Chains A and B, each alone.
Chain A
């Protein structure tokens, strides 16, 4: 079945970086956009950006510009999201999600299982 599997939980200190992976299986990985979305207690769901694996093209939310980098390794059907200069506000569950387009309407399906990231000194 189509699924996205993410890397495990992370604990980081303020100022550090975190890199989360997301591996796709059960479908042709490269043509589909992969979006990153995080869920924080205070802000709910926040869209961070997307990467399209076949070209490596990216589009980042303005809020995260300069701090987020999305990359891919198509040989292992995996994309990565790296967030730098972490603060306690970045404590969240980070999700990857495949972008689908049906009849011109875009949505996320499926989502990865989520990666909890805790930022604490």
Chain B
């Protein structure tokens, strides 16, 4: 199975800050990497698919980059509604696997 490792596991930031979360795969997954936002009591929502493609309806302050084994999710200017937990997920092989999550909290 492909192991996905996110860092940091949590961070504190202020509204307006630029935030970057990284995700590393245990083997190359090309660009088969997705990012999800998850808020308590709600369904996860996809933000980025294929490492860098913004899902329809997602604000452009979210962006993704990377290929191979190293990826990142950047929020250019953190908004109040962005405080949540973010997960990466690989779609290169079965079983699909997820990172352990990065909780973004209010400073």
Contact = CB atoms under 8 A, between A and B. Distances in A.
A103 B55 contact: no
A26 interface: no
Contacts of B95: 47, 61-63
A44 B98 contact: yes
A24 to B, nearest CB: 13
19 contacts: A45-B89, A45-B98, A47-B96, A61-B95, A100-B49, A102-B53, A105-B31, A105-B32, A105-B34, A105-B50, A105-B91, A106-B91, A107-B46, A107-B91, A108-B34, A108-B36, A110-B43, A110-B45, A114-B43
Contacts, number: 64
Contact of A103 (B53, B96, B98, B101): B53
Interface string A104-121: 111111111110000000
B34 A107 contact: yes
Interface string B24-58: 00000001101010000011111001100101000
A49 to B, nearest CB: 8
What 3 pairs between A and B have smallest CB-CB spacing? A105-B50, A111-B43, A45-B98
Contact of A109 (B53, B55, B94, B99): B55
Interface of B: 31-32, 34, 36, 42-46, 49-50, 53, 55, 87, 89, 91, 94-101
A12 to B, nearest CB: 22
A95 interface: yes
Given A45-B89, A102-B50, A105-B50, A111 B96 contact: no
Nearest to A4: B43
A44 B101 contact: yes
